């Protein structure tokens, strides 16, 4: 894995973090960054279940942030932890950031996302409709942009949903959703593939499911390495969905942990709002949304349900359905060079968006873990803005495959 060679890069990244503008008010360090080589999903699940902050997984090497107590516990359990860096000290106050830290201004703040969506509706009024799924905990509208011919009408066309930025620091995903918006609006009428899909599908894009967390992550002039929402100590929005919530050791009941599942299913206002939007797409007893991607970073993976069990099939997942996930997931991964696998092949998670989308609505629902494949700890969440163009365009083919599949009988 060349892990010794990676240390200088980690240190370089940390120096960059530490020499950025000083935070307004320094708080506590989140802990240290560790790597551990694991043999199987059961070991990774055991580690994740301690509530550590998993950053990425590659070839069995798990990278995560752990506090001193968690690190001691894991070492006592026999895991060989290699400390590769320190997590940044977080600010305790969070004024609305003017922009991303210096050099990364190509990323969109919440205000800039809002402006982009409003511009798209001004420029392409006939094929767009901007609404909100509800509000975040801090009161930010959770924008939903619909793209379709005759967007004002509810036509009888397969519906497709793209969600981004459930996890605060995964800013590249917001750019991915904006790429989809830009491509399917600006390309309408000139790009035959785009025009075909806009005419035959109803495309919904939610560029930021967790705007409070994203804004906090860039506050104070340096990245905070923040994952959760901003409700109390923060809920991991992607452990708060209501299918087999908290069932299987794939989330934490400790509100201090990075995988805190919330006090009950849908206690996070963001998950609840997006779920209500999806519920609202049941028309005449039939869910209109047939396919979905939830974008995350990082590790370059295509993942599918279930996450709560390592079994390939389970209640509501027949062998034929599991095969379709595997077949389409593999085709998606072939298009972008990611690695395809069932979510629980990494480690068990419960309360995820994919499990709910499939378990409750039979929506063909994937998670993409975007660039980079291997991220040097927290640095992996903050690729330079020069990567936005190539790493989002890299998924154009996959987006088209999903739009095609949305029209196939399930
Ligand atoms: Zn994520």
Catalytic residues: 369
Q: Which whole-number Å values give the CA distances from 350 to 148, 255, 263, 315, 389, in the listed order? A: 33, 16, 14, 15, 33
pLDDT tens digit sequence for 370-384: 999 998 889 999 999
Take residue 308 and report the two structure tokens written for it: 């709560």
Q: Ligand 1: distance of its center to the CA of 166 in Å?
A: 6
Q: What percent of the chain has pLDDT over 70?
A: 92
Q: Ligand 1: distance of its center to the CA of 296 in Å?
A: 4
pLDDT tens digit sequence for 136-178: 999 999 999 999 999 999 999 999 999 999 999 999 999 999 9
- Residue 28 has what pLDDT? 63
- Residue 15 has what pLDDT? 38
Q: Residue range 257-268: average pLDDT?
A: 97
| Phi, psi angle pair for 142, to nearest 5° | -90, 95
- Residue 27 has what pLDDT? 62
Q: Residue range 322-337: average pLDDT?
A: 98
Rg (C-alpha) for the chain, rounded Å, is 20
Other beta carbons less than 10 A from residue 37's beta carbon: 14
Q: Residue range 298-321: average pLDDT?
A: 97
Map tokens 């640095």 to a residue: 379
Q: Ligand 1: distance of its center to the CA of 208 in Å?
A: 12
**What is 110-405's CATH number?**
3.40.630.10
- Residue 6 has what pLDDT? 40
Average pLDDT, the chain: 92
Q: Ligand 1: distance of its center to the CA of 235 in Å?
A: 13
Residues of the chain within CATH 3.30.70.790 domain(s) are: 3-89
Q: Ligand 1: distance of its center to the CA of 347 in Å?
A: 14
The band of 132, judged by pLDDT with boundaries at 50, 70 and 90, is very high
Lowest mean pLDDT among 8-12, 233-237, 296-300, 309-313: 8-12
Interhelix angle 353-361/269-279, rounded to 10 degrees, is 30
d(CA 174, CA 62): 25
Residues of the chain within CATH 3.40.630.10 domain(s) are: 110-405
Q: Ligand 1: distance of its center to the CA of 294 in Å?
A: 9
Which CATH number is 3-89's, of 3.40.440.10, 3.40.47.10, 3.30.70.790, 3.40.50.720? 3.30.70.790
- Residue 11 has what pLDDT? 39
Q: Ligand 1: distance of its center to the CA of 377 in Å?
A: 14
Q: Give, as residue ranges, everything with CB less than 5 Å from ion ligand 1.
A: 167, 170, 296
Q: Ligand 1: distance of its center to the CA of 375 in Å?
A: 14
356, HSE (Cβ side, Cα atoms, 13 Å): 23
Q: Ligand 1: distance of its center to the CA of 200 in Å?
A: 30
N-term to C-term CA, the chain: 40
Q: Residue range 345-370: average pLDDT?
A: 98
- Per the model's pLDDT, the better-predicted residue between 195 and 56 turns out to be 195
364-370 and 289-297 beta bridge pairing: parallel
């Amino acid at each position: 894995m060349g892990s010794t060679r990676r240390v200088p890069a980690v240190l370089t990244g940390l120096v960059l973090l530490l020499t950025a503008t000083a935070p307004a008010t320094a708080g506590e360090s989140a802990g240290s960054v560790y790597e551990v080589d694991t043999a199987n999903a059961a070991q990774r699940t055991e580690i994740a279940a301690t509530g550590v902050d998993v950053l990425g997984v590659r070839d069995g090497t798990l990278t995560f942030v752990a506090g001193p107590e968690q690190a001691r516990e894991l070492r006592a359990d026999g895991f060989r932890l290699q400390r590769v860096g320190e997590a940044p000290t977080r600010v305790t106050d969070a004024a609305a950031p003017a922009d991303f830290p210096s050099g990364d201004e190509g990323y969109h703040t919440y205000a800039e996302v809002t402006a982009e969506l409003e511009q798209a509706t001004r420029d392409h009024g006939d094929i767009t409709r901007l609404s909100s799924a509800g509000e975040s905990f801090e009161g930010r509208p959770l924008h939903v942009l619909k793209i379709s011919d005759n967007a004002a009408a509810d036509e009888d066309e397969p519906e497709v949903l793209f969600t981004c930025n459930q996890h605060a620091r995964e800013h590249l995903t917001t750019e991915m959703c904006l790429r989809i918006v830009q491509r399917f609006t600006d390309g309408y009428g000139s790009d035959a593939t785009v025009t075909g899909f806009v005419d035959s599908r109803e495309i919904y894009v939610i560029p930021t499911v967790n705007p409070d967390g994203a804004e906090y992550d860039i506050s104070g002039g340096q990245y905070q390495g923040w994952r959760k929402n901003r409700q109390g100590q923060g809920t991991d929005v992607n452990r708060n969905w209501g299918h087999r919530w908290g069932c299987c050791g794939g989330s934490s009941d400790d509100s201090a942990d990075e995988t805190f599942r919330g006090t009950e299913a849908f206690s996070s206002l963001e998950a609840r709002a997006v779920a209500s939007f999806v519920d609202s797409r049941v028309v005449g007893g039939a869910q209109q949304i047939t396919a979905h991607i939830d974008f995350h970073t990082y590790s370059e993976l295509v993942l599918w349900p279930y996450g709560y069990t390592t079994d390939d099939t389970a209640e509501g997942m027949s062998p034929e359905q599991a095969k379709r996930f595997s077949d389409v997931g593999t085709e998606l991964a072939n298009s972008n060079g990611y690695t395809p696998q069932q979510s629980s092949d990494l480690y068990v998670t419960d309360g995820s968006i994919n499990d709910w989308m499939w378990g409750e609505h039979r929506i063909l629902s994937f998670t993409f873990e975007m660039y980079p494949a291997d991220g040097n700890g927290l640095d992996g969440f903050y690729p330079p803005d020069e990567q936005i163009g190539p790493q989002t365009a890299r998924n154009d083919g996959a987006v088209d495959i999903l739009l095609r599949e949305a029209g196939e009988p399930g």
